[in-house]
Amino acid sequence: MKTFHITLPDEALRGSLQQKIDNLTKPKGALGRLEELALQVGLVQQTLSPTLKCPTNVLFAGDHGIADEGVSLSPKEVTWQQTCHFLQGGAGISFLCRQHGFKLKVVDAGVDHNLPYEQGIINKKVGRGTKNFLYEAAMSAEEMERCLVHGAEVVDDCFNEGCNVISFGEMGIGNTSPSSVWMSVFTDIPLEKCVGAGSGLDAPGIAHKYKVLRQAMENYRGDGSARDLIRHYGGFEMVMAIGAMLRAAELKMIILIDGFIMTACLLAASQLHPEVMAYAVFGHQGDESGHKMLLDALHAKPLLNLHLRLGEGSGAVCAYPILDSAVRMLNEMDSFQASAITKYF
């Protein structure tokens, strides 16, 4: 069984970091969320002068058996088509990564297609899509283990390339369905409030999706543990993202969290290791109906609300400049003492 040893940042530096922030040439608290972010990054990196290096967006792709139940407006083949498209440079996440200086890594976690790995897609395929969790567990315990290990391996590669700030995205038709179920079982929010339009379902479509997921939850006969619920409902790409998040926290990297699906993955990861939350920066509140409630349940304050519902890591990458501003504030602003300015409030 893959194990992670995640520790909370040492709080001993908090006072010195706060003092440095409070003595920059501005009224105390005047830079708001930037000050909160600077404190968080400084604690994670255990320094008064943190840095952000080699930002990377890892996009995991996989197919879902539950998609056979008509829970998504988009056809299943979009998963492999978009996965091939990402590295050609014309997708949404492609231009955002170029704009903000991110490396983009695309990982086949479990796409039901033979992908062109020679084009740069990373082959970590665990299977050709999960099973249909309406009738049986989406994956076996062994497949879940492989997902956690492969996710950690991808993060190790990023870390060894110099990355210390990482975001995760996904591509998988139907993956708002397991996200909704995880949200409900891990927060006790009624399923009806967790189910949304996904890629564009109308009201009857949402009602059908809810009916399918409710039946899947009623059919569940597992032991109710976090690991079993993750295995029973999750997608290969989602569980791989969990392994990636946990390894990133273990390596004390900053984790930029994207929209509804990646927030659900972080929620699931936190059921295994609550300490992961200390390393998470929430980039974006998306338009999926349950996302705000999920963020509230995690006591999370997203940096942006741009009405995105693309996934792929798009909201996280868009939020990166704000994180960069927080770090620049610590490193580039003068103190009152150094600038011979009278401290004001």
- 153 catalytic per annotation: no
Instruction: Kindly list the distances between the CA atom of residue 21 and the CA atoms of 168, 245, 319, 320, in Å, as whole numbers in the listed order.
Output: 29, 28, 21, 20
Confidence band, pLDDT 50/70/90 cuts, at residue 243: very high
Residue 198 predicted with pLDDT over 80:
no
Residue 199 predicted with pLDDT over 80:
no
Largest CA distance in the chain: 70
Confidence band, pLDDT 50/70/90 cuts, at residue 200: confident
pLDDT tens per residue across span 16-26: 999 999 999 99
pLDDT tens per residue across span 207-220: 999 999 999 999 99
Residue 107 predicted with pLDDT over 80:
yes
pLDDT tens per residue across span 288-330: 879 999 999 999 999 999 999 899 999 999 999 999 999 999 9
> Angle at the Cα of 63 (from 60 to 66), degrees rounded to 5?
135
203-219 vs 176-187: helix crossing angle, rounded to 10: 60
Q: Average pLDDT in the 159-164 region?
A: 98
Residues 6+ apart with CB under 8 A from 259: 284, 285, 286, 288, 291, 308, 309, 310, 311, 314, 315
Any idea what DSSP says for residue 8?
P
Any idea what DSSP says for residue 9?
P
Confidence (pTM): 0.96
Q: What is the mean pLDDT of the chain?
A: 96
Backbone angles phi, psi at 290, to 5 degrees: -85, -5
pLDDT tens per residue across span 173-188: 999 999 999 999 999 9
pLDDT of 231: 98
pLDDT of 287: 84
Among candidate residues 143, 250, 288, 312, the one labeled active-site is 312
Q: Of 237-246, 257-266, 285-294, where does mean pLDDT reach its minimum?
A: 285-294
pLDDT of 284: 94
Cross-strand partners of 280: 255
* Residue 268: closest CA among 147, 187, 199, 170: 187
Residue 46 predicted with pLDDT over 90:
yes
Q: Average pLDDT in the 96-107 region?
A: 98
- Bridge-based pairing of strands 165-171 and 254-257 is parallel
Cross-strand partners of 168: 58
